[in-house]
Structure 1
Amino acid sequence: MRGFFFAMKIRFAAFIITLLFASQSCQQNETGAINQVPKKQLPKKYIEIPYKPVVPDSICIAAVGDIMLGTSYPTNSTLQPDSGKNSFTYVVKYLQSADVTFGNLEGVLLNNGLPANFKLHQRSKSYLFRMPVDNGRVLKDAGFNVLSLANNHINDFDKTGRISTTATLDSCGIHYAGLLDHPSVIFTVKGIKYGFCAFAPNSNTVSIFDLRGAGRIISDLKQQCDIVIVSFHGGGEGPAFEHVTKAHESYIGEKRGNVYAFAHNAVDNGADLIFGNGPHVSRAMELYKNRLIAYSLGNFCTYKCVSIASICGIAPLLKVHVNRKGEFLKAQIISVKQSHETGLLIDSLDRAAARIKLLTETDFPDNKLSISETGMLTFIN
């Protein structure tokens, strides 16, 4: 009997030891210390894959001409209803669908204040554009993310107007350039880095006359960016100045630059897209070194103080497609017309496209750019 009980104790002790080892093994498996599955056998959902942003092969840039959404000076009679909120209703889908949407802001964003040289302006009829700061949000909501401030009207309300304008655009997240203290800007959209700069013949703006200085600004941007967009304000104003003269222009005694020489110099130094404004009418387009130059996009959304009679009322909306190097792929001129009563309207007669087609074929007969009756731009081999 004594031997029997001794054997039972040995078996019981062995059983307890077995349980202890089994318990320890289970605990180690749960913490992953023992019997780990090799990493290469893990399900795919557990394997980390480095994130690589998708960079588009084709980039769309929309561009329009002069924007002036009504002025509160000298009275509120020239202000747009509802701060111009309904101005872009019929074109907003074209503006918002581009990667970058550009325009020329013809005036300042300022609620109150007297114009520069107030006593002089009291004695003469002047066009002074003071848009309410609320218009900044209207432009942002319409899709604009970059604006040129390089024009004569940025000085209408002196330093106060310039400071209010830049502060308003900063608060809305809209990029801008063209002032002496803000000549250029760099920004990124969908993995593409853009450089933007603007030039004009007016004080407090970056000079359109200094081709060497402009070349340095543009070249510096190209070294840092994928695509460089350049805007200029130049050339005479009105229906008598539709054509690109390839010479120095003047208007009412003011020198307005040689826009042909300026644009070619800009491309030579690295510009990929050139958007001109200033004449208040559309001008020809040209392909130079496979880069698109629009010599004037005319008026786009201007209210009361700016004439929209005849060809001044056509408002091209240009959508350009380029590759990641900035080389031209294709484009379209969407013909828009202005109305002081209803805002911008799509023009079923395609008059903006037809006019630019005629001007292009006249001013650049050997150009490699083909423009269809409906505004499609393609490269001629």
Structure 2
Amino acid sequence: MLMKRKMYNTAVFRLTVLSCLLSACREAPSEYSLFPAPTDNTADIRIDSLDYEILPLDTIHTSFLGDLYINNDKLQWVDYRFCWIFEFDPAGRFLQRRLGQGKSLKEIPTGLIYSYAPDGKGGFTVIGPQTDCYVFDSTYTLQNQFLVQDYVVDEDPGESDPDKAGTYTYAYDKLVTRAYDDELYINIYSESDDFNFFGDAVPYFREAPLLMGVNLKNARADRLLGRFSPAYVQNSDRCKLFVYTGFDIARNGDFYMAMEADSLIYQYDRDYRPIRSFGRAGRGMDCSYPVLRNLDEIQAHYADGRAMGHYDWIEYIDRTGLLFRSYVKSAEAEVYGLQIYDGTVLVADVDVPVGFRVKGYIAPYYYAVGRIDEENEKIPVYRFKLD
């Protein structure tokens, strides 16, 4: 049963949304629109297949609940259950294990990790299950910890309002966090009693932000950024629960936003002023999404809907200037799709293993992770080169 709550609730609400990739017509953007039409949306396919290799990591004792990251030119397996960080060299050789649960400055005082965000300088920020936030430097020493104040200065956290941070909760089922310039950005959504997408979703898709910025110095949620694209407004009953957003932040502060139900990628500067849009629809995606008008219908289609085609992950690589976007094709597909963009130009759209997400670059290789196999205790790590 779906439940309603706000961001400050301690119980973790698990909600997985239905997929609804839409390449529908879009509203004509005004001069000040957040969604400029693509001016250059060409394809120049230079890569017709990806020559990747499986990189075996040295054996570790882990819960297999976690994710792969690249930090300070090392591979890191972050074990969310036991709060360990396993470091490997670029060849997959184990180096050392860091953190773990505890109250020293070299440990983390939380029972679970829900998110991990490298800061580009060797440090990182971790989010726990109760909006608890922990900031570490490059020596794995705790520098700051706090509970995120889930309201903007001088706002009442008990009142639901599209412009108030307390209205929203983290997108726990597909949580993406990125650290940039003393700010932690988190993808969010709302299921508040007064502001949600269960019934008439048009007001929600017009007004709801996509990201929350948390100031790591004063512990305040001080930025709400973005909006759903016009495709959501015009097709609200078909993508009603498609509310999770993928994003990345470049070294210069540019945001790259990728909504699951929109074939376009939107680029903004550090002040979230629109720069451009680009992107082409993926191949072989199942777009036959059902119309969902209320919560009962949403629940009835929950199990099958998520397997339908949608855009899953986005990663921008500063060192090479390439952007990678993974996508789900359909419930029957035995592969994922991966698009590679050089600027606004699509240079590759290839088949890759299920769950494939590019996570970073250590010259001369790009590194990716696949779907974690907890039952067989396997962490599928891939690496590849691009000429």
Query: What TM-score comes out, normalization by structure 1 length?
Result: 0.31
- Structure of greater relative contact order (alpha carbons < 8 Å, 6+ residues apart): 2
TM-score, structure 2 as length reference: 0.31
Q: Which has the larger radius of gyration?
A: 1
